[in-house]
Structure 1
Amino acid sequence: MAELLDSNQTPGAPGNPLSWSRADKDAVGTAYSLSSQVWYTSAGGVVTEIYFPDVDTPQVRDFQFIITDGATFYHDAQNDFDHQCEWPDAPALSFRITSRARDQPYVIVQDVIAEKGSPCVLVRVTLQGDQAFLDKLHIYALLAPHVGGYGAGNVAHRASTANGDRLVATRGNYWLAMGADCGFGMTSCGFVGVNDGWTDIIANRRLPVWNYDAAKGGYVALTAEIDRAGENQFVVALAFCVDEPTDITASTPNKALIAVSEALAYPFDDPSSTYSHRGVFLEGWHGAVEAPFKPTAGVTSDGDALFELSRNVLLAHEDKTANGAFVASLSIPWGEIVRDLAAGYHMVWPRDMCQSALALLAAGAQDPPLRGLMFLVASQSKHGSFPQKFFIDGNPWLPDAKQLDEYSFPIILAYHLREANLLGQFDPAAMVLAAAGALIANGPMTTQERWEEQEGYSPSTLATNIAALVCAAQWADAATAQFLLEYADFLEAHLEPWCVTTQGTLVPGITQHYIRILPTHNSGGFIFPEDPNTATIQMRGYGGQANTVVDAGFLELVRYGVRAANDPIIVDSVKVVDAVISKTLPQGPAFYRYNHDQYGQGNDGQAWYDGAPFGKGRPWPLLSGERGHYELAAGGDATTYLRALEQFAGPRGLLPEQVWDMPDLANTSFVLGGPTGSAMPLAWAHAEYIKLVRSVSDGRVFDRLDVVAERYQAQPGQPPRARRDIEVWNFARPVPTVAAGKTLRINLPSPFSLHWSSDDWATSKDQGATQTAVGIYYVDLATQAAEAGTSRVFTFFLVDKQRWQGANYSVALRP
C-alpha cells in the first residue's frame, strides 16, 4: 500500500481562496463507457473542471503545465501561449490543445481522453521545437483540486509507491491521484498563492525550491516535475476514487493509485498494439448510436460535423451512475467569480433535459431518451411535480420554484416515445397522469416561466401545458381524458385574453401582439381582472407596463400545434420580435430573451452575479433555432437560422448560452458574436440545433404534435373540437366573475362536497365532487345567460379532513 508522506508539512494554511474556472469551454469530453465515471473540460489552453463519480460533482478546478528554461523565461500555460483547441477525432470527444509560446520557439500539444475502463483522465503531452532548445526545458504539472466540489478543506500528500512517487488529494472520502508514465522528479504540496508551484516558479521566477510532503486543510495545489529524460512525449494520468472507511480500515487513495498505474501500463495510442487507450476510446464513441439519423444532403453547411458533434455533446451530459440524468451544461456560469458549493449548470433541469432527450431521439438515438424518461419517473415527487432543478440523486436545489413547463415536458417526452414505439415494456402512465394532475393542481399560472424569473401567464409555459394535457389524455380512462382535454381547452381559450395586448405601442401600427408574461399577483394578492393592457410588471432593473415587454415564447404555440403559423396575432407578434429583440450579427440573426433583460455580461466584460447592477442580457443562439422552426412551420426557408447556429458554434463546435453583441472588447475574450462568460456548451442550444436540422430534413417541425394541432386548428368546414365554455376556479385563481352562460368548474386536489347557492343562500344545494384519475376533484356549476347580474356563492366540506373550509366564496355572473 502507498505511503502518504507527512513529515514535512506545508505552512501557510488555508491559502488563498480559489474560484472555479471560466465557463466558456473550448471542449468537453468523457469516454462513452459506464465504467469510466469521469468527465473533463477545457478552457483557455488548460484542462478545467473534471467531474467524478457523477456528472454533477466537480473534483478539479484546473490542471496545467508550467514551462521554464530555469533562467530566462517562466511560462504560465494560460497567459504566455496562443492556444488552439480542436477535435482531432470528431465526433468522438477527444480534444487536442495546441499551445504556441509567444516569445520562445516551441509548442506544447495536449491530447486529452479518458480511460474507458476506469475513472481516469489521460493527457498525452508532445513538445515540438528544435531538440537542442527542448532539452533545456523543465516541465511541471500543476493541479488545483476542488475535491467533492470544494476548494476549501482539501488535503494533499506526496505518496510513495512501488511505481514511484505520486501525488494525491482528498476531502471526505473522495480521492484523486496523479502520476506520469515517465515518472516525477521533484514534487510538492502547497497552499494556493502562498507556497504552491505557481508561486514558487512563476511568481518568484526560479526553479522550485519548495518540496513539502503534505498540505492540510485549505486550498491546495499539487506540483510535479516531469522526469522526461530527454523525451518529447509523455502521458499524465489523473484518477479518482471514493473509499469509505470501515470500523477497522481508514479511507485510502489506493483505488485511484491503482487506476493510475494500470492506465500508464498501456500505450496511449499505438496502432501496432493489441490495445491502446485512444483506440478503445474511439470505438466507444463510434458505436454510441446504433442507427444515427443522417441529415438530408445540403441541409448543413459542414458535412454534418456540428450535427454529429452536438449529438455526442448531449450524450456526454448524461450521468453514468444515475442513467438517464442529463445535466444542462458541464460548466459553471461566470465560474471565475464563483467559489465552493456552486451548482452551476451541472444539474438536471427537467425542461433542458427533455430538450436533450428529444434531440437525441431526433438524432436517431433510441435508448438514451428512454433512459431519460425513466430517470424522470424516478425523480418525480409524490405529488406528481418535478423540482425546478436538482442533483442527480434527486435532491432539489433550494429554494425550489414551481415551473409548470417542467411538469409538462416529461409528458411530451413520453408521448414522443410512445409514438415512436420506443417505450418497450416500460409504462409511464402513472408518471404522466400524476404530472398532469400536478399541472392542474398548481395552475393555471406558473410560479416561474422558462426564464426562471417571473410568475404569471407565460405563452411558452401555456403552450407546453396545453400540449402536455392533450398528450396525457391518451393514457387516461375516458372520463379523465375528457377532463384533461377540457382543462387544456380552458387554457387554450384564455391564451389571447391573458397573453395578447390590444394596446401595444412597441411597433407603430401593431397594437395586437403577445407579451412576455402577464403577472397575476401583487404583494401576495391576486390581480383581477387579468388584463394584459393594464397589468404592470416588475423585473430585475425594470418596472413598467406588462405590454411593453415581449419575448418570442409564443412561437412554442406554433411548435406544438396549438396555433397555426399564419395566425394573424402570431404573424404580428413575430414582427414585434424582429423590431424589438432581434439583432443581426456577423454570424446571422440573433435574438434576446426579452427587452430589458439584465441577465448577462456587463458592457465592460464584468462577470454577472445575482444583484449585479451592470448586467445586460445578450442574445441566445438557441432562440435563432426556435425562430428557424417557426420559419419552417410558416412555409419559409429556415436555412438562415441554421447557418447562424453553425456560425455561433465557431471553430470550437460548441454552442453557448449567450453571445457577445458589442464590438470586440480589448484585452478580453469577448468578440462580436462569440461566447460570453455564461455557459458553453449549453445542451439546450445543441438540442435546438439538432432538432432544426432534423425538422428541415423532414420538411416538418420535429416537435409538432398532430394530436394537439387536430384539436386546436380546425379545418375549413369542420366545427372546432375544443370547448370554450368553461371557466375554472381554484384557490390558486379564485376568479371573481364569469360570463353568464358559461360553466363554472371548481377544482381541488382533494375530495370535497360543494355547498352552494344561486340566490344568496335563500336556498342551497350540496354536490359531491367528481373524482378523476389524476388526483383532481371537480364540480361543474352551470349558468345561464339570463342569470347575468346574479352570483354563485359556495363553500367546501373537505372530505379527507371532515371539516368545513370556514369561508364563503362568491363568483359574479357578468353579461
Structure 2
Amino acid sequence: MPTNSRRNFLRAALVGASAIAAPVPLAGSAGATGMSGARSDVAETAGEAPGGPGKDARFDPADKVGFGTARTERSLVWFTLQGGRMSETYYPDLSTPASRHTELVVTDGKTFVQRVGQADTRTELIGHGGAPRYRQTSQGEGWSAVTQYVTDPERSSVVIDVEVRSRTGTPLQVYVLHDPSLSGDGNNDSAFPQDGALVAEDKHAASALLAQDGFAESTVGYLGVNDGWSELSENDGRLKHHYATAGPGNVVQLGRLRLDGCARTRQTVVLGLGEKADDAVRTARRSLRAGFHAAAHAYDTGWTSYLAGLPQPPGSLRTPSDRALWTASVVTLAAGEDKKNPGAFIASPSMPWDFGSRHVVPETGPYHLVWPRDQYQIGTGLLAAGDHAAAGRALDYMLRTQRPDGHWPQNCKVDGEPFWTSIQLDETAAPMLLAWLLDRHDAGTLERLARGGDFILGFTSEEGYEAPYSQQERWEEQSGYSPSTIASVIAGLVCLADLLERGGQGGKAAKYLKAADKWQESVEKWTVTTKGPDSDEPYYLRLTKNGKPDSGVEYELGNNIETPVDQRTVVDAGFLELVRLGVKPADDPVIRNSLAVVDRKLAVDTPSGRHWYRYSGDGYGEQPNGEQWTVNRPEVKTTHGRLWPIFAGERGEYELLCGDRHSAAGRLRDMARTAGETLMLPEQVWDTRPPAPREKPGTGTASATPLAWTHAQYLRLARSLERGAPVEFPSVVAERYVRR
C-alpha cells in the first residue's frame, strides 16, 4: 500500500476506533448519550472536513501578560499569554511560531457559549523565586476557570493545569480550542487524530494536543468555515459535526475535556511538539505521564538555580515590588535567548499590530528576530544583572553573523539568516562597544571587529555621502546624518582601537582613531541647527539628509505621515548618545538647550510619570481610535506613535552623568510604573491623545510587550544608580573627548 494511502487508512481507522472505544461520558453531562461522549442528536457526520483552505488569520495582539520557557536546552518550546489564553507558542526556535492560540471554551449546551479569552481574567506571576510560571483566573457566565502554564524541562511540550467550576450547579461542557500555526504559517497545516491526540503537521513540524482523561468528543475544521468555535457559537454550544481530518489549510482543532464543573473539575492538558507526528504524540504522552506538578517543580527549580547564580538586585531597589520587577526583567531577557542558537536574543516574543497579519512583511514579523542594536541593549542589560556569560554569548552570536564585507545585518532569524538588509552603521559599531565592556581582545574577536571598522571607514551611500552618513538611523526609517548613529560609530571606533592596543595590535588602531576624532569635531556641523524654529539657540536635530542642518531640506517621515517636513522641525533625544557614550560632556550647552527643546516638543506627563515620544510627528503607533498601526492601507490615514518608557531610562543615565542621582532614581520609578500586572514592560504607553481617556495614559499600548530593550534599560539604570554611573559608559571614549 502506498505511504499516503496507508496513512489515510490509518487515520480513518483511528477515527472509528476513537468513536467506538472512547470512555463513557461524564455522569450528569447535559445531553450526553452513547459511548462516544457526543450527543447523538447533533453528530451528523465524520471523516474529512469540507471547505478548505479556510480564512487567513492574524496572530494574537502583542500586549502579552506572560512569556515562559524552561531553562533546559531539551525543551525547545516557548509560550506566551494574552487576553486570558495561551497565545503564540514558538517551536523549534524563537523565530518560528508554532500556534496562534490555545484557549478554553465553556458552555452549558443551551444558553451560552463563551471563550475564556472573552471573559474577565486576572493573570498572576506565581513561579517560585521569580520563575516565569503563571496562573490565569477567569470569571464567565456562571463559571470560573483557573489555568496554570509551564513548559516541561525534559521535552518540548507546554503543560497546562485546567480547573473549571460551575457557579450555578449547572453541568458544563469544557472544550480546548487550538489553532496551530506550524513553521510560522498555519495556512498549510493538516490535522488528524492519532493515539487519542489531536495532531497537526506540516512539512517541518507537528503538534499533538492531549488531555489527561482523553477527549469526550472532538472536531477539526477550517478557520471561519467550520472550525469548532464556529460550530459551537452557531449551535448554542453544541457540535453539529465531528470532522476527523482536515487540510492542508488553516485548520483549527477542538476537543471536549471530561469535565462538567461539578463532579469533575480538573484536568491536565499537554501540547507536545516535534518534527513529525509520532514525535509530537510521544512527547505529549511522556509529559502527561509525568504530570503537571512534576513539570512545574522542575521548571521552577531550573529558574531559581539560574537566578541564584547571579548577584543580588541593587540595594537601591528597596521594596519587594521593585525587586520583583528586577527579577522579572532578568528572566525576560534570559527567556528570550534561543536554545538552538546560543546568544541569539530576540526583540520580543510578539507580533504587534499588522505584523501579525503578514500584511507589512511576508512572514510573521520582525520582533522575533535578532537585531545587533537590541543585542547590544540586551547584552548590557545582562551585564548589569551579572550574567557575563550570556552577554558573551550575545557577542559571539554577532561575530558569527557578520556579513562577508564586514557589516552586521539589520536583523536576522535566530539561525543567522538575514531578514531585512538595510545598512545601519550604529549596528556595525554595537559589537565593538559590547566587546569593550566584556574586555574581549582575543585575535579572533579583533579580526572580526576590525573588519567592521574597515566597513564603516569605507562606507559610501548610494547618494554619494560618506560615513558617518548611514542608510538608516536607529529608528530604521530614514537615511542621513544622525547624532545617535554618529555617537555610536565614534565610540565604537575608539573602543576598537583600545581593544587592538590591549590585544597587541596597536599599530592598526591609528586609522580608527583618526576617523573618530574627525567625526567628533564635525558632529555639530552635520546635525546642529542655528536657524531652526524651536529655539534661538543651537539644538540637535533628529537627523539631516544632507549634513547641512540650517538648510530647509524636506523629507517624508513615513508611518502614514505623507506631508513632507522641514528637517529643522524634527527633533529626538538621540543626541544623548553623545553623552552616554562619552563623546560629549553632559554640561555641553548645545546638549542642554537640545534637552529643553525635546522636553517642550516630545515630553508628556502621565500618571506613570514623564515619558517621551521617539521624534516629532512619529506615526509608529495606533490609530486615533485605538485600532492597530498599519501602513499601505488606503483606509488608514493617520497613526500616532505613543510614548516610549526606554527614554525615561536613557534620561536617567544622562542625569547620573550630571551628578543628579535623585532625578535618575525618579526615572527608574517612572519606568517601573509602566509595568503590567505580571511585570511585563512595554514598548510604548498611551499618551493623552485619543483614545484617551478610554485608555489610561501611561499604561501599555498594544505595542510589543514585553520588549527586551525596555527590560534591559530598566536593569541598566537600576544597577547604574547603585554604582553612581552608567554601567555601559565607555570610559576610554570619555578620557579621549571629555576628561582630557
Quick check: TM above 0.5? Answer: yes
Aligned match of 1:4: 11
Q: Any idea what SS the aligned residue of 2:620 has?
A: coil
Give 1:50 shift.
0.4
1:556 equivalent in alignment to 2:556: no
The residue type paired with residue 341 of structure 1 is E
Aligned match of 1:483: 511
Q: Deviations over 1:669-710 (max 9, x none)?
A: x43222222211111111111100011111111111110000
Return the match for 1:192 from 216, 220, 223.
223
CA RMSD of aligned residues (A): 2.0
Q: Is the 8 A contact 1:664 1:671 kept in 2?
A: no
1:284 equivalent in alignment to 2:302: yes
Aligned match of 1:584: 605
Aligned match of 1:122: 159
Aligned match of 1:435: 452
Return the match for 2:667 from 641, 647, 661.
641
Give 1:534 shift.
4.0
Aligned match of 1:23: 62
Aligned match of 2:340: 321
Give 1:209 shift.
2.5
Give 1:434 shift.
1.1
Matches within 5 A, 1:352-431: 352-398=374-420, 400-418=421-439, 427-431=444-448
Return the match for 1:51 from 59, 71, 90.
90
Q: Any idea what SS the aligned residue of 1:265 has?
A: helix
Hey, what's the Cα distance between the residues in 2 that align with 1:280 and 1:424?
Answer: 39
Q: Deviations over 1:426-446 (max 9, x none)?
A: 841112111111122222200
Hey, what's the Cα distance between the residues in 1 that align with 2:449 and 2:154?
Answer: 37
Q: Is the 8 A contact 2:549 2:567 kept in 1?
A: no
- Work out the number of aligned pairs and report it: 675
Q: Is the 8 A contact 1:66 1:76 kept in 2?
A: yes
Hey, what's the Cα distance between the residues in 1 that align with 2:518 and 2:442?
Answer: 34
Structure possessing the higher relative contact order (Cα contacts under 8 Å, 6 or more residues apart): 2
Hey, what's the Cα distance between the residues in 2 that align with 1:93 and 1:703?
Answer: 27
Q: Is the 8 A contact 1:13 1:218 kept in 2?
A: yes
The residue type paired with residue 304 of structure 1 is R
Q: Deviations over 1:623-672 (max 9, x none)?
A: 1111111111111121221111101113231111111113684997x432
Aligned match of 1:449: 473
Q: Is the 8 A contact 1:296 1:697 kept in 2?
A: yes
Give 1:515 shift.
0.6
Return the match for 2:200 from 146, 150, 169.
169
Aligned match of 1:82: 120
Hey, what's the Cα distance between the residues in 2 that align with 1:456 and 1:196?
Answer: 50
The residue type paired with residue 354 of structure 1 is Y
Hey, what's the Cα distance between the residues in 2 that align with 1:455 and 1:466?
Answer: 18
Hey, what's the Cα distance between the residues in 1 that align with 2:625 and 2:522?
Answer: 43
Q: Any idea what SS the aligned residue of 2:252 has?
A: strand
Q: Deviations over 1:591-650 (max 9, x none)?
A: 000011111101101211123421111111111111111111111121221111101113
Matches within 5 A, 1:481-560: 481-507=509-535, 510-520=536-546, 530-540=548-558, 541=561, 542-560=563-581
Q: Is the 8 A contact 2:532 2:550 kept in 1?
A: no
Aligned match of 1:240: 273
Q: 1:666 to 1:574 in 2, by over 3 A?
A: closer
Hey, what's the Cα distance between the residues in 1 that align with 2:432 and 2:308?
Answer: 26
Hey, what's the Cα distance between the residues in 1 that align with 2:346 and 2:443?
Answer: 23
Aligned match of 2:723: 698
Q: 1:47 to 1:304 in 2, by over 3 A?
A: same
Q: Is the 8 A contact 2:63 2:700 kept in 1?
A: yes
Q: 1:337 to 1:363 in 2, by over 3 A?
A: closer
Q: Which has the higher helix share?
A: 2
**% identity of equivalent residues:** 34
Q: Is the 8 A contact 2:112 2:237 kept in 1?
A: no
Q: Which has the higher strand share?
A: 1
Q: 1:543 to 1:511 in 2, by over 3 A?
A: farther
What TM-score do the two structures reach when normalised by structure 2?
0.88
Q: Is the 8 A contact 1:21 1:336 kept in 2?
A: no
Q: Any idea what SS the aligned residue of 2:518 has?
A: helix
Q: Is the 8 A contact 1:30 1:40 kept in 2?
A: yes
Aligned match of 1:465: 489
The residue type paired with residue 169 of structure 2 is F
Query: Which 10-residue stretch deviates more, 623-632 or 538-547?
Result: 538-547
Q: Deviations over 1:165-189 (max 9, x none)?
A: 1100011131000001121110111
Aligned match of 1:738: none
- Any stretches of 5+ residues in structure 2 without a counterpart? 1-5, 16-45, 460-466
The residue type paired with residue 175 of structure 1 is A
The residue type paired with residue 538 of structure 1 is E
Matches within 5 A, 1:200-239: 200-228=231-259, 230-239=263-272
Return the match for 2:680 from 649, 654, 667.
654
Q: Is the 8 A contact 2:354 2:629 kept in 1?
A: no
Larger CA Rg, structure 1 vs 2: 1
Aligned match of 1:806: none
Aligned match of 1:107: 144
Return the match for 2:357 from 325, 333, 338.
338
Q: Deviations over 1:699-743 (max 9, x none)?
A: 11111111000000144xxxxxxxxxxxxxxxxxxxxxxxxxxxx
